[in-house]
Amino acid sequence: MDDASLTNRPDLSAHWMPFTANRQFKADPRLFVAAKGLYYRTEDGREVLDGTSGLWCVNAGHGRPEIAEAVHRQLLTLDFAPSFQMGHPIAFELATRLAALTPPGLDRLFFTNSGSEAVETALKIALAYHRARGEGQRTRFIGRERAYHGVNFGGMSVGGLVNNRRTFVTLPGVDHLRATHDPARSAFSRGLPTQGAEFADELERLVALHGPETIAAVIVEPVAGSGGVLPPPVGYLERLRSICDHHGLLLVFDEVITGFGRLGAPFAAEYFGVTPDMITMAKGVTNAAIPMGAVAAKREIHDGLMKGPQSAIEFFHGYTYSAHPVACAAALATLDIYERERLFEHAAAMAPVFEAAVHGLRERGPVVDIRNLGLMAAIDLAPRPGAVGARGYEALVRAYQAGLLIRVTGDTIALSPPLPVGEPEIADLSRILGDVLESLD
């Protein structure tokens, strides 16, 4: 790195970084200073191919002028409007646009500022809906092991990532399904594993244990993302839907990662042909330009809360920045890009190319499993004895140095390139990552 880069580097001490080994990072920082298209630029002027869409969120690629211009116009027109008892037109326009993308019937949108907040909101909606129906005893939630539903207390409690749960007190009244990952039968699966639909029957056991009358909702990621890109077995989601219907449980799909084209469809619900009762979304809704999230709920859930005097607040929940005007402007511009450039269709066309490239790394280095769906993939590395996660971290650093951004969780590498990715970029990703894998001892 040249002296000028070091001179311009800010003081790193005050910023307490999230989900980061702060001392390790600050001893050898990795700083991005710009981004355009499919590439980041580092402080020393190198280009780094974005193999993770930022953090699963920059679906349309970086530096989109259409979004920047929409944000600029909105800041000069209406920078903020109160979200309680007041409104502004583009919030309603955005809700209508999103309702046209969600599965039929899920056409009532509640806006939040993140995926974590969207999950909290969906859990609250489930409790309020059952109470409004006279079933206020339905207070229990069922999550799933190896699931990530954000970091607020509700999402952390229904989530199943161990390190997210150990430090903090989780909410009572939560149980978990078994994770669907079954490497003994489905290692190196391409697309959906053909075995494992019976894992959904674990829900019947939990229903019998707790009583269906106590359970408000089941929440799952259609494809577990942060837990290691775990595609569901063939028929698994359909069985969950059937069991929920039988016992009157709401089914929530957390689509913060899978939403907005990651599987080549607007939402995974449409990709799988399974309609939940609610969908949480965030990340790709604004291409990560401005924080935003939302919950799409079935109309009957919304209408079930529209009771009592018209002057009564039906749902005591919300955020100062719900449907923030600038976030709405960014989201509308993002939806225009998805539609105009047919990025969902492009992602579907690139998925087989991406699959072939990722599975082509099977014999490169200490790889023990590879799995994929759409433009999502994971590569599991054999952990070093007594040093779980060491190989994963080395892969992260070496890939960055070689010009590729990957994400790691322990010894699992996750890949999720922006939707405009083409065959040349996929080939570069595979080449760089293959060399990195072979460099790991």
Q: pLDDT tens track of the chain, all 441 residues?
A: 555 555 678 999 999 999 999 999 999 999 999 999 999 999 999 999 999 999 999 999 999 999 999 999 999 999 999 999 999 999 999 999 999 999 999 999 999 999 999 999 999 999 999 999 999 999 999 999 999 999 999 999 999 998 888 889 899 999 999 999 999 999 999 999 999 999 999 999 999 999 999 999 999 999 999 999 999 999 999 999 999 999 999 999 999 999 999 999 999 999 999 999 999 999 999 999 999 999 999 999 999 999 999 999 999 999 999 999 999 999 999 999 999 999 999 999 999 999 999 999 999 999 999 999 999 999 999 999 999 999 999 999 999 999 999 999 999 999 999 999 999 999 999 999 999 999 998
Amino acid 419 reads L
Query: Per the structure, how many domains does the chain have?
Result: 2
3-state DSSP percent of the chain in helix, strand and coil, to 5: 40, 15, 40
Give residue 167's pLDDT. 87
- Of the candidates 340, 356, 391, which is a domain's last residue? 340
Answer yes or no: do 48 and 121 share one domain. Answer: no
CB burial string 181-191: b at 16+ within 10 A, e below: bbeeebeebee
Answer yes or no: do 216 and 363 share one domain. Answer: no
Which residue has 């970084």 as its token pair?
17
Answer yes or no: do 257 and 139 share one domain. Answer: yes
Q: Which domain holds residue 376?
A: 3-60+342-439
Which residue has 């390139």 as its token pair?
417
Q: CA 293 to CA 117: how far, in whole Å?
A: 7
Cα 194 from chain centroid?
24
Answer yes or no: do 423 and 309 share one domain. Answer: no
Q: CA 261 to CA 418: how far, in whole Å?
A: 10
DSSP-assigned letter for residue 231: P
Burial classification of residue 13, based on how many CB atoms lie within 10 Å of its CB (0-12 exposed, 13-18 middle, 19 or more buried)? exposed
CA-wise closest residue to 216 among 135, 160, 106, 278: 135
- Of the candidates 340, 373, 397, which is a domain's last residue? 340
- Please list, in sequence order, all residues whose beta carbon lies within 8 angstroms of the beta carbon of residue 398, skipping any fewer than 6 positions away: 436, 439, 440
CA-wise closest residue to 406 among 377, 373, 439, 441: 377
| DSSP strand pairing (293-297 vs 108-112) | antiparallel
Answer yes or no: do 33 and 75 share one domain. Answer: no
Q: CA 99 to CA 103: how far, in whole Å?
A: 8
Task: Report residue 308 as tokens.
Answer: 């009592």
Residue 363 in 3-state DSSP? Answer: coil
- 231 touches 153 (CB < 8 A): no
Q: CA 111 to CA 90: how far, in whole Å?
A: 12
- Please list, in sequence order, all residues whose beta carbon lies within 8 angstroms of the beta carbon of residue 320, skipping any fewer than 6 positions away: 83
What CATH number is attached to the domain comprising 271? 3.40.640.10
